[in-house]
Amino acid sequence: MTQNWGMTIPFYDRSLSKAQDLIAELPALGYTDVWSAEVNGTDGFVPLALAAQWAPQARLGSAIVPVSTRGPGLLAMSAATLADLAPGRFVLGIGASSPAIVERWNAGTFAKPYARTRDTLRFLKRALAGEKVSEAYETFEVKGFKLERAPKTPPKIVLAALRPRMLRLAAEEADGAITNWLAPADVQKVRAEIGPDTELIARLFVCVDEDTERVRETARWMLASYLTVPVYAAFHDWLGRGEVLRPMHEAWAAGDRQAALKAIPDEVVDDLIVHGDAATCRARIKEYVANGLDTPVLAPLPGATPIDQAVRELAPEA
């Protein structure tokens, strides 16, 4: 059984400025890891910089920082700063992200996502080791970049990976793989692509609420907004849900959001969202672990149980 049990910060019900006490409590509850996210809320680094001070025992990770919304040098500087604040405790999670985040929100270019992620990984490994990098990669060129102060302990780098090619890159050249929106039964298929020795990390959305219909109603909005993104659609097609999700995709493409929500079967919601009372949720999380997940990273959703109570009740030592 894994010794890792992670928590996503900040929490859904409060800003980062209001989260210090609960973040500081996490290690005592048994949480080993604190992982940030970066979509359109907080950025991926500042919460970890604060958590480095608020929860000095925890491992810190970004899940994930896009490789196309910052330049390679800036990514290296941010990672080096976190590695200095939390020596040996920071894990840099990077990934391709999506066209919406990269292009529509950040005026970047979402092109060759696999190659851009691979090239960024290779650059970061050299830069964070203190090398001076001058290299023409497939997707960008760096001329003479060298960190002013390279970290004494370079951070591990893990990749957001949803399908075989990226999963294999994570196993062959990075220190682990991060995945998302999968069921316990899906873990073995993902694990088969990376082998037994590569760390597998997954964010799990958890709602401590025994009102199944209420949870499903809320969860359908989340699922539709994610699973209609092309990379997630392809992921679930690979996992074998292509046909069962086809009606949702067709309704969404036609602009009928309500029909798309109704088209998501209950069993898909129950597969991808952990819900029920706290004991049921913890047991479900352990199913992921039993199937090969090394690091579950919980993301408690609003429900009948307040977030701070859910965080405490979902702890491995609860």
Give the pLDDT confidence of 305-316 residue by residue, as tens digits: 999 999 999 999
Asked if residue 1 has pLDDT above 60, the reply is: no
Give the model's confidence band at 49: pLDDT under 50 very low, under 70 low, under 90 confident, else very high. very high
Rounded-to-integer distance, Cα 297 and Cα 189, Å: 19
pLDDT at 3: 86
Rounded-to-integer distance, Cα 117 and Cα 109, Å: 13
CB 16 within 8 A of CB 308: no
Mean pLDDT to the nearest integer, 30-43: 97
Asked if residue 318 has pLDDT above 70, the reply is: no
Q: Residue 28 is encoded by which pair of tokens? A: 């005592």
* Percentage of residues in the chain having pLDDT higher than 70: 99
Asked if residue 211 has pLDDT above 70, the reply is: yes
pLDDT one-digit tens code per residue, 259-299: 999 999 999 999 999 999 999 999 999 999 999 999 999 99
**Cα distances (Å, whole numbers) of residue 85 to 66, 182, 314:** 21, 32, 28
CB 300 within 8 A of CB 206: yes
Residue type, 132: K
Asked if residue 136 has pLDDT above 50, the reply is: yes
pLDDT one-digit tens code per residue, 70-97: 999 999 999 999 999 999 999 999 999 9
The residues that bridge with 61 in the sheet, in sequence order, are: 35, 91
- Going by C-alpha positions, the residue among 159, 15, 138 that lies closest to residue 95 is 159
Packing angle, helices 212-227 and 242-253, rounded to 10: 80
Which residues are within 8 A (CB) of 17 and not within 5 positions of it... i.e. 6 or more apart?
none
Rounded-to-integer distance, Cα 222 and Cα 302, Å: 12
In three-state secondary structure terms, 312 is: helix
